[in-house]
Amino acid sequence: MKKSLKILGIILLLLGVFVLKTLWESGYFKTIENHFEGETQKIEGLVGTEDITIDQSTGIAFLSSDDRWAFRLKKPITKGSIFCMNLNDSLPKLVNLTVNFPQEDFHPHGISLFSSPSGKKTIFVVNHRKSGNYIEVFNFRNDSLIHETSIADELLISPNDVVGVGEKSFYVTNDHDEKMSSWRSIKDLLKVGMGNVCYFDGQKMTKTSIENIKYANGINVSLDGKTLYLASSSANKILVYNREIATGKLSEFDEIKAKTGVDNIELDTEGNLWVGCHPQLLKFLSHASDEKSISPSEIIKIKYLGKGNFEQKTMYINDGSEISASSVGAVYKNKLLIGPVFQNRVVLGKIR
């Protein structure tokens, strides 16, 4: 009997340690104090702007919009959109670039812009259709999006984000390597790494060496294309890989311990990383299933200086009252555009 009680006590102790560790890593005990060195304004009119990328040569921002709450809360589902806005304008206007896109089953997620040396601008978009997952490829020309092709592959199991590295080539993250199930949810709770990265070389999709990642999320490459950055959301890290430009081969190099729930990664003209973050992941989960529940937002700037060396600064943090569950922060000059996973707004900040 005493032996059984001792075993039970050990089990309860281990369970308690696991729960406390999970709460700590999720940011449960963090104190959120609203802060931004500048002025902000809310821009209403588009829903679920999960990802944003900006053409630094023109100031045009591309925004991926879809009603993600509709899926979760079983509401009527409408077609998603890609919007743009010119951040050089004093009052930027939203323009729907896909209003005439004939694909009605369009639900954009991660988005990426690749500008070729010849000046061609290619937009890659993760699209979750009912029939399966696709990467939609568009050409942005004369202020219009022209659809070029749809890429499907059995390796696109749970695609989250994409980064274009050529006119036809890209990397894509799968946040999980298996479809949604109760068992997958249990493994998420236990923080089992199930994410991976795949590479499309213009002809075929292959797995890279990056596997078993704890929620593989945002992805981007350095300005010279020689380094790849990968957000591991539930590990609160950005993983850094060396990249062979000619072959697309990746080799692990470093990790940035951001200590917050990292999501999408954007770069400024100096190569600094701007990362949308969820500082309290449990509140994010509550927000995902309840429109009245708010979740804090955070945008961090990371200056990566080499192996084991980086500088990190919180550029924006809010308790969720201005914008909830920020998944992306894209910067152009002194303007910061923040997008949420679910809400019907974006925030445009002007940095002092």
Residue 1 reports pLDDT greater than 90: no
Residue 165 reports pLDDT greater than 70: yes
| Catalytic residue from among 107, 109, 176, 278 | 109
Residues 62, 52: contact at Cβ < 8 Å? yes
Burial of 143 (0-12, 13-18, 19+ CB in 10 A): exposed
The vertex-347 CA angle with 345 and 352, nearest 5°, equals 170
What's the domain range around 111? 31-351
Closest CA to 269 of 223, 212, 328, 322: 223
pLDDT tens-place string over residues 217-229: 999 999 999 999 9
Confidence of residue 133 (pLDDT cuts 50, 70, 90): very high
Cβ atoms within 10 Å, residue 101: 18
- Dist. CA 288–CA 301, nearest whole Å: 25
Residue 66 lies in a domain: yes
Residue 22 lies in a domain: no
Residue 21 lies in a domain: no
Cβ atoms within 10 Å, residue 107: 26
Place of tokens 């479809």: 179
Q: Which pLDDT value is given to residue 138?
A: 98
Residue 11 lies in a domain: no
- Dist. CA 240–CA 232, nearest whole Å: 11
pLDDT tens-place string over residues 204-248: 999 999 999 999 999 999 999 999 999 999 999 999 999 999 999
Residue 326 lies in a domain: yes
Q: In total, how many domains does the chain have?
A: 1
Residue 24 lies in a domain: no
Q: Which pLDDT value is given to residue 173?
A: 98
pLDDT tens-place string over residues 112-127: 999 999 999 999 999 9
Q: How many residues does the chain have?
A: 352
pLDDT tens-place string over residues 254-264: 999 999 999 99
Q: Which pLDDT value is given to residue 58?
A: 97
Q: What is the 3-state secondary structure (H, E, C) of 135-203?
A: EEEEEEECCEEEEEEEEECCCCCCEEEEEECCCCCEEEEECCCCCCCHHHHHHHHCCCCCEEEEEECCC
Amino acid at 2: K
pLDDT tens-place string over residues 45-104: 899 999 999 999 999 999 999 999 998 888 888 999 999 999 999 889 999 999 999 989
Residue 132 reports pLDDT greater than 80: yes
Residue 15 reports pLDDT greater than 80: no
Average per-residue pLDDT for the chain: 93
Place of tokens 């999960």: 50
- Dist. CA 109–CA 323, nearest whole Å: 19
* Distant-in-sequence, close-in-space partners of 281: CB < 8 Å, separation ≥ 6: 26, 27, 233, 234, 261
Q: Which pLDDT value is given to residue 129?
A: 95
Q: Which pLDDT value is given to residue 27?
A: 77
Percent of the chain clearing pLDDT 70 (strictly above): 94
pLDDT tens-place string over residues 167-196: 999 999 999 999 889 889 888 878 899 999
Q: What is the CATH number of the domain that holds 203?
A: 2.120.10.30
Residue 74 lies in a domain: yes
Residue 14 reports pLDDT greater than 80: no
Q: Quick check: is 278 catalytic?
A: no
Residue 219 lies in a domain: yes
